[in-house]
Structure 1
Amino acid sequence: MNLKKWGTLGLATTVILGSLLIGGHLSGASEKKIYIHDDQLRQELVRAASYDPETGEKIVIEDELPTAKQLETVESFSFWEASSIDGIQYAKNMKYLVFGASTSEEGKQVAVDFRPLGKLTNLEMLQCYSYWTEDETTYSVQDISYVKNLTKLTSLDFYHFPVLDLTPVSNLNELIWFDTNTGVPVEIDSVAVSGTEKKVVMEHPVKYSVQFNDGDKSATGTARNENEEYSADISVQMDGNKLTIENIPAEATYIELELQATSKDYYSREQMAEKHFRANTTVKVPLFWY
């Protein structure tokens, strides 16, 4: 009888202690202090998390170290000129995000790693700006594979963003608005040109998402000389994923391609269409003559 009693008490004690440990673990995770490396991003996130969402009262966040729980209250956010966006992934309930990746501050590194965005799986709207600077990093082609995780997105914009592979967007079934443009030419690998044929056959440099499958695609080209001056308009024929460029003048050192794609039911925002998908890409193709 006594053994049974002590056994029952022991089991009850184990359950209670286990519950306390689990609760303490979960509480500890939500109370974890988050250090955000970039000064600008840290200040803006701390400001956004400094209000109680239920009462609207201001919360004091000491030493600019918000907890994970405090960052989870941020649903709408915008920021500019960050050298890193690491830390934003803790604002996991965010629904609307607008940010500019580049910086006007001389000597400050620009953000190049946007993978933390892939953790914001509750996002419904994302607008990314990457204004070009003297820092060559802002000219680097960006990998947007992280967007495939953002399946709740209905609106996605990449402005002045050097993106050539749009296929991760194919995973976004809720998307009704997608607009992207490179802003200025993105340089790709050089292509060889025969001095006799003055012709190039190359693969289309942009990989489109499924949203453009039944839409319209076009390609135009301009030849430019070593001084980046206009040389001539050239013929660009598109056959599936193949581009054929002919009548390239001998003085041309590179070709500037304007590549456009729109969805079948494309309309402007002002026309309030049900869906809008557009991609404008400018590519610089250096020429190697032989």
Structure 2
Amino acid sequence: MKKIYLLLSAAGVISLSACEEKGPAIDFGTTAVAKDTTYMAKVETPDKKVVLVEELTGASCTPCVPAREMLAGIVSQHEGQIAVMEMHIFANAPQTKPIKDHSQYDLRTDDGTEIQKAYYSDMIGIPVAGIDRVPVNNVNALTTPSWAGAIDKELQKTPPVNVKVKSTYDESSKNAVITITASYTQAVSKKQFLSVAILEKDIVDAQETTTGVEPNYTFKHTFRDMITGVNGDEFLKDQATKDAGRVYERTFIYPVDAKWKPENCVVVAYVHGEGENKEVLQAGETDLKGQ
């Protein structure tokens, strides 16, 4: 995870309307934060549910290819309602490793590995996936036969919070300015956390398949980095209940890794709980360079 900063504006300070409340400076540990913004507004109509899929996958994993294809089919049926993060992790299993003498890149990340340890410690192999971090029959790391049903169940939910993601990219500084807005459509009394991740699409590299190594395979949703803490950053700590109409906003300046293609990068943000209540309530995504 890179050091990031809350941006008050691209030039200096955002002009806040009279209804806005400026929050105090908050220490989020590894994230350097200047200030959060929160205010009350008219209660929004709930958006359609956007489901987060955290897919644990690998370049040396033969069954991971049909699993990705199956998931792509589900995504195509629900345009704009499924955010997929393909995470390559460090694990004591050959399927998670790059392909010796073939792979140009090592797509494994420390942050992805920490997410697997924190939320999917019951993983016994890949491919597996978490669907909104909601267990099915007490299992978090779901095998492929469970994916479609779990996704369909989550899609039926009405999210209590709308999540909007905006991003622009400055070519000269190589920084992205990312704004996340969480607007509560229902009152929520539990602790709330914001997680923001960077993905890169259309990475071409070697992949093990049933017919051998495909040297020019296209990886579509590769997880690159967490902007927030791996387990998310708690927000609105001083409010036991987040009332309907409460809006929370956070803006980051994020230095984009020079090895990535900004035009292929995607920002994914999601609001969730912790511990026994780690469910992802709503997700959102946008292109790093804006749309």
TM-score after normalising by structure 1: 0.29
Richer in strand (by share):
2
Higher radius of gyration, 1 or 2: 1
The structure showing larger relative contact order (alpha-carbon pairs under 8 Å, at least 6 residues apart) is 2
TM superposition score normalised by structure 2 = 0.29
